[in-house]
Amino acid sequence: QVQLVESGGGVVQPGGSLRLSCAASGFTFSSYGMHWVRQAPGKGLEWVAFIRYDGSNKYYADSVKGRFTISRDNSKNTLYLQMNSLRAEDTAVYYCAKDVGYYDILTGSTKYYFDYWGQGTLVTVSS
Amino acid sequence: DIQMTQSPSSLSASVGDRVTITCRASQGISNYLAWFQQKPGKAPKSLIYAASSLQSGVPSKFSGSGSGTDFTLTISSLQPEDFATYYCQQYNSYPRTFGGGTKVEIK
């Protein structure tokens, strides 16, 4: 069965750095795009970043662009999020999520949505 | 960016009730809309994609409809395990954006 296990969260001071990991199993990791999504305490979900299955394409939310870097190691079945210049507003539970594609007959293209999520890891930015 | 607006933000319902949640996109997204369920302290769970297609393993009491800018999630007969927060998300374009969530509480 698909498993996504995040790790690397913790308490960090403003301006500091942290690297999150997401260990994947139960599917062919190298064939799927992956995302990071976060949720501030008591708030809704915010998409953070995406990386294509082969790492060739990456997208970021404006709120993290230039500070966060998404990457992956397909040989280790692991997704990463390097977070630099952390701010108090980055405090959140960070989830990794797996993409899955389906054929859209209306457009003749493949569309992708989230099918599985990890359990999340808490990042607290505080002095 | 495409803004997603859910309504209501919360609702109270009884076991057995039929519940409908609405999600509106700020511009047309065809049917590229997903719904997720999140219980307190847990990760979100995928329910529906392509506006109306059930994710594998999701019971048929959940249904979705809509296209363009207006979408709905319906739970046909609310059960105790359905009390949770529900989010819509568009995957038409980046950044992928979520609605603010609808918390379904016990009346």
Interface check for A47 against chain B (CB to CB < 8 A): the answer is yes
Minimal Cβ distance to A113: which of B45, B91, B97:
B91
Nearest CB to A115: which of B31, B46, B89?
Answer: B46
**Closest residue by Cα to residue B73 from B64, B82, B60:** B64
pLDDT mean values, one per 10 residues, chain B (107 residues): 97 96 97 97 96 95 97 95 96 96 94
| pLDDT score, position A47 | 98
CA geometry: angle A50, A55, A58, nearest 5 deg: 35
pLDDT in the model for residue B24: 98
Q: What is each CA distance from B2 to B35, B42, B95, B107, in whole angstroms?
A: 16, 26, 8, 33
Q: Confirm if A124 and A56 have CB atoms less than 8 A apart.
A: no
Query: Least CB-CB distance to B96: which of A47, A102, A106?
Result: A47
Instruction: Give the per-residue pLDDT at B52.
Output: 96
In angstroms, the CA A32 to CA A52 distance is 7
Instruction: Please check whether residue A8 is in contact with residue A122, taking contact to mean a CB–CB distance below 8 angstroms.
Output: no
- For residue B99, list chain A residues with Cβ-Cβ distance below 8 A: 44
Output the pLDDT for position B93. Answer: 94
Alpha-carbon distance B16 to nearest alpha carbon in chain A (angstroms): 27
Task: Look at residue A105 in the predicted model and tell me its pLDDT.
Answer: 86
Q: Which residue of chain A comes nearest to B42, CA vs CA?
A: A119
* Chain A CB contacts of B91 below 8 Å: 111-114
pLDDT at position A11 is 98
- Partners of A112 on chain B (C-beta within 8 Å) are 91
Q: What is the pLDDT of residue B107?
A: 86
CA distance A120 to chain B (A): 7
Nearest Cα of chain A lies from the Cα of B87 at a distance, in angstroms, of: 8
pLDDT at B89: 98
Per-residue pLDDT of chain A (127 residues; tens, 9 = 90+): 999 999 999 999 999 999 999 999 999 999 999 999 999 999 999 999 999 999 999 999 999 999 999 999 999 999 999 999 999 999 999 999 999 998 988 888 899 999 999 999 999 999 9
Nearest residue in A to B100, CA atom: A44
CB contact under 8 A, A115 and B45: no
Contacts of B46 in chain A (CB under 8 A): 113-117
pLDDT at B104: 97
